[in-house]
Structure 1
Amino acid sequence: MDTVAPLAVGSADVISQFIVASLVSAPFDWFLNVADVVFSWVAEVTGLEFLAYPYMQRAYLSVLAIGIVGPLVGSFLVYRDLSMVGDTLAHTAFAGVAAALFLEATVALTVPPLVGALVVATIAALVVQALVEYTGARSDAALAMVLTGGFALGSVLISLTDGGISVGINQYLFGSLATVSRADVGLLVSMTLVVVTAVSVAYRPLLYVTFDETSARASRVHVRAVNTLLSILTAFVVVSAMRIMGVILVAALLVIPVVTATHLGRSYKQSLVYGVLAGEVAGVVGVTLAYLYGLAAGGSIVMVALAGFVAVQLVRRFS
């Protein structure tokens, strides 16, 4: 099993990349080609040669997309005291990746890891909502149960293969600049368009439910549908960002930029814009530092985001 599993994991990843590329990346080839030209021109003008490297271009495009969707969805979570939703879905997405690789390694059933992650994370989001609505469990307790249950499931699946599938799981746990492919960028761009469109269309109901769920129910807003939409969007953001941020850190950009921007705007929309800007700065600076100093990309991005939060608090305190 120890010699077969890594080969099975590799074949699953190749098939995953092919499926995602066929469905997502191909329609965005023109976008990626234009981005390549732009990055190459900037590299020539500024003398920053690394901007011309294809894998760095993919990394920057990825974090630019994550910097938009993370704070955009995270703002509705933070203001509802549901900041841990992202962390919970990230850990259950880990179980989805483990399940996909487990099926490939044991019964030769190929399920793309990102598909497994998305399915399990979406189900987990709905389970959390059901626990709160139908069992009377507090939201923090429901999140804790699903988080620990998801991570436990992933750990059990790894142990059942004597650790064989851990080779394929590591890149999802910790993320990597080098493993971000054109298909991954296409996925992120697609997810960004879906999330931005969904939030734009459902902005008023989302805002109403976020700040006054009781009044929203009295006004006949479909609160359950709004909550379901938010849960699914969160799952999409978590899964699409896994490749570069990693399961462990992906939830950070749902929360830290939003908290950083909380006191910067005079209105919710302004705070939302500042949150996206904070996410973009953290992503770009973090990836640059990761390349220059050989750091883990996800960890570097989160540390920059935290430094931004501290800087804003210091300015507010002493200004």
Structure 2
Amino acid sequence: MDFLEPAFMQRALLAAVLVGITGPAVGIYLVQRRQALMGDGIGHVAMTGVGLGFLLNSSPIWMATLVAVAGSVAMELIRAYGKTRGDLALALLFYGGMAGGVLLINLSDTGSNANLNSYLFGSLSTVSSEDVTAIAVLAAFVVLVTVGLRRQLFAVSQDEEFARVTGLPVRAMNLLIAITAAVTVTVAMRVVGLLLVSALMVVPVAAAQQLSRSFWTTFVLAVLIGTGVTLSGTITSYYQDLPPGATIVLLAIAVFVVLTALATPLAKRRARAAEAAGAASPAAACDVAVPATRRATDDATL
């Protein structure tokens, strides 16, 4: 347990826990909406905020949060109204954000390649007490939104038209998901890095889906997997002197591969059992399918 002795590791581990919780908590909604790469785009835009923070001698995390939120709102509006030229507008936003961030960091008095790399790929030794405070405040917001509004966000992520018919403010919910994703990116950038944060939002969710088909169970499993890989990746990077972001992402992918290998035979066995039940009695097949669907629906609305 000697890794707990250095003060910078205590800060890094606390940040890792918060990142492990918030990444999958937001990622599950992005996966449901088929926007798995949205975090990657927000990470590019947030780079401009980091550069502005260095240039103006203010907190890079808070400045990155403001810029990332503005960028995520722009992305959502482009998605909703962009139509045929939406992809081009998003590409300009993503690449312009990254290029602007690199330029601003190099123009600042405190900017350097070391600073740039720590935000792009994560760094254990550079997580300060101020960073931990900012990460904790932002993470609390993410958890409050993703858990407190899970029913509404799930409904909007599954079927916007149905959610609109039921009276939900779909446009506001979509913007809230985008803003929460932007906040999550800035929470995770000190540990995982802006270029790899999207993987932490998506891979634990994909791994959890190998074991569960209900929303809430997948949510809990994804958060557990995310917390596990961020902690183990942070500790491994300390002992082996490896970049934490890359270590965490590769561990998450390894968990996904293992769970997929374990879940495949189980899925085949269940499929064969369902086919056998259906061949024996069509009514029995309906009895098997309906409760499973009902359980998934009930679990999603818990």
Q: CA deviation at 1:152?
A: 2.7
Structure 1 spans left out of the alignment, 5+ residues: 1-47, 105-109
Which of 227, 243, 256 is matched with 1:280 structurally?
Answer: 227
| 8 Å Cα contact 1:98/1:165 also seen in 2 | no
Aligned equivalent of 2:23: 70
CA 1:56–1:206 in structure 2 vs 1: closer, same or farther (change >3 Å)? Answer: same
Return the alpha-carbon distance in structure 2 between the equivalents of residues 151 and 266 of structure 1: 36
1:178 and 2:125 aligned: yes
CA gap 1:164/1:97 in 2 versus in 1, 3 angstroms: closer
Who is 2:297 aligned against? none
Does the residue aligned with 1:83 lie in a helix, a strand or coil?
coil
Match in the other structure for 1:54: 7
- Root mean square deviation of aligned Cα: 2.2
**Correspondence list, 1:86-105, <5 A:** 86-101=39-54, 103-104=55-56
What secondary structure does 1:245 align onto?
coil
Counting matched residue pairs gives: 266
Shift of 1:157: 3.6
Judge which range, 295-304 or 308-317, deviates more.
Answer: 308-317
Measured in 2, the distance between the counterparts of 1:185 and 1:173 equals 18
Deviation string 1:75-96 (CA, Å, 9 cap, x unpaired) is 0001111011100111111111
1:121 to 68, 85, 90: 68
Between Structure 1 and Structure 2, whose CA radius of gyration is higher?
2
Paired with 1:262 and 1:57, the residues of 2 have a C-alpha distance of 31
Q: Once the 2 structures are TM-superposed, how far is the Cα of residue 50 of structure 1 from its aligned partner?
A: 1.8
Q: Which amino acid aligns with 2:67?
A: V
TM (norm. structure 2) is 0.81
Counterparts of 1:226-241 in structure 2 under 5 Å?
Answer: 226-241=173-188
Q: 2:150 aligns with which of 195, 198, 203?
A: 203
Where does 1:32-43 land on structure 2 (aligned, <5 Å)? none
Residue 99 of structure 1 and its aligned partner are, at CA, apart by 2.7
Distance 1:256 1:134 in 2: 29
2:183 counterpart of 1:247: no
Query: Taking structure 1 as reference, are residues 146 and 204 closer, same or farther at Cα in structure 2, changes over 3 Å only?
Result: same
Q: Which residue of 2 aligns with 1:215?
A: 162
Q: Provide the secondary structure at the position in 2 that maps to 1:179.
A: coil
1:102-181 equivalences in 2 (<5 Å): 103-104=55-56, 110-137=57-84, 143-157=90-104, 165-181=112-128
Query: How far off is 1:283 after superposition?
Result: 0.7
Q: For the residues of structure 1 that align with 2:219 and 2:111, how far apart are their CA atoms?
A: 43
Query: Aligned residues: percent identity?
Result: 38
Q: Distance in 2 between matches of 1:144 and 1:58?
A: 35
Contact 1:84-1:143 within 8 A present in 2 as well = no
Unmatched tracts of structure 2, length 5 or more: 267-302
